[in-house]
Structure 1
């Protein structure tokens, strides 16, 4: 049976990871970005277009762009598949990495609970398993933070989505203004909590290692004459 100290540290690690999964789940269900663009058609200014996007659904609001206004909700993946391939690939990569975050965080919780009720000798089911899973979670979320912004800044995703979704032509979208929303920012505390889960296990592992070394030291420091008998 594990010691009370080990139970406490591993349960705290599991709790932090569980909170991070809750944050990640909410992040994936809410909006990630909003883009406002000026709409110019037929040589004159004709209002604006605003796209609000989550990971799986989005909303397009056109204010006389180019001549009539409307509001439309659209599924993200089908809409991206109708335009250039690069935004679709990058967006799909973000969602795939977030799925990896979910999986590795869940594995980290299971390993933490297992260690809180037993003393596994298998390396992959001990602290190393939590180090690996939580590290993958944190690194994957950081990659999503980088890739998602690059997709917004370096591609013409929003400019191509507006005419594709609204089925309009002869329109030019200029002066793009980007704003990242709550779903994107929640990846930051998710990564921090994943790293804190690693820290708790490291503190326990280091303390346990130090304790074992102190117990072995009297034998190591004993005179050779005593060790012979």
Structure 2
């Protein structure tokens, strides 16, 4: 394939992967979800208090509205891993989410390096070209999809939010109910990240298809030549 076309395809792939890795880095610094619960003490029947937890990957904030008796409109900042560990909540699930996101960053970064190297290498050869990009980008897309599922299960299917309330409310007799989780920007940014990872695969697929078609075109005159001519 001519060098200009090869450069164009691989540079487009590198740009697509660069946008995705920047997007993921930004997502990891944003709020991922909010959990809201109704609170009450054991001495009262009515759940007239509310606890609001803002989740980031490493830091969180807990706002009490009479939960059960104390209110703190400004909220309390807390370390997610420390509080979950102290509360006996499933801290392992949060650790797995962060680990998978780091692996996403590494695999996307490797995809960028492969694409950049091939954009300036021999114009008619590739080094880990299509296959390398396919593998790295597919890993990124698959792991980000797993993170979307795992994080949602962690907040909606475990008692992580209740554990934070019990730990930070300052009253072990507090009761909670009606937990609601609302996902925020950081979580939803994984969707375009996954799409861009798949887009990198698509770009290199078109390059690979075009290169294959050109190789077949170059071989055709020899294949179609009469046998008498080919003998010479």
Contact 1:2-1:117 within 8 A present in 2 as well? no
- 1:54 correspondence with 2:72: no
Matches within 5 A, 1:61-210: 61-70=63-72, 71-85=75-89, 87-119=90-122, 125-210=128-213
Where in structure 1 are there 5+ consecutive unaligned residues? none
Contact 2:100-2:147 within 8 A present in 1 as well? yes
| Residue aligning to 2:37 | 37
Using the TM superposition, name which of 8-17 and 181-190 deviates more.
Answer: 8-17
Q: 1:177-221 deviations in whole A, cap 9, x for unaligned?
A: 110000000000000001101111110111011000110011112
CA distance in 2, matches of 1:218, 1:168: 84
CA distance in 1, matches of 2:86, 2:224: 73
Contact 1:108-1:130 within 8 A present in 2 as well? yes
**Structure 1 residue 84: deviation in Å?**
2.8
Alpha-carbon spacing, 1:2–1:97, altered in 2? closer, same or farther (3 Å): farther
Q: 1:150-196 deviations in whole A, cap 9, x for unaligned?
A: 11111111011111123321111111111000000000000000110
CA distance in 2, matches of 1:181, 1:202: 33
**Structure 1 residue 82: deviation in Å?**
1.3
Alpha-carbon spacing, 1:170–1:147, altered in 2? closer, same or farther (3 Å): same
CA distance in 2, matches of 1:121, 1:77: 48
**Structure 1 residue 67: deviation in Å?**
0.8
RMSD value over aligned CA atoms?
1.6
CA distance in 1, matches of 2:151, 2:67: 27
CA distance in 1, matches of 2:105, 2:198: 15
SS at the partner of 2:179? strand
Q: 1:125-172 deviations in whole A, cap 9, x for unaligned?
A: 222111111110111100000100011111111011111123321111
CA distance in 1, matches of 2:168, 2:132: 45
SS at the partner of 2:47? strand
CA distance in 1, matches of 2:141, 2:225: 45
**Structure 1 residue 225: deviation in Å?**
2.4
CA distance in 2, matches of 1:2, 1:165: 63
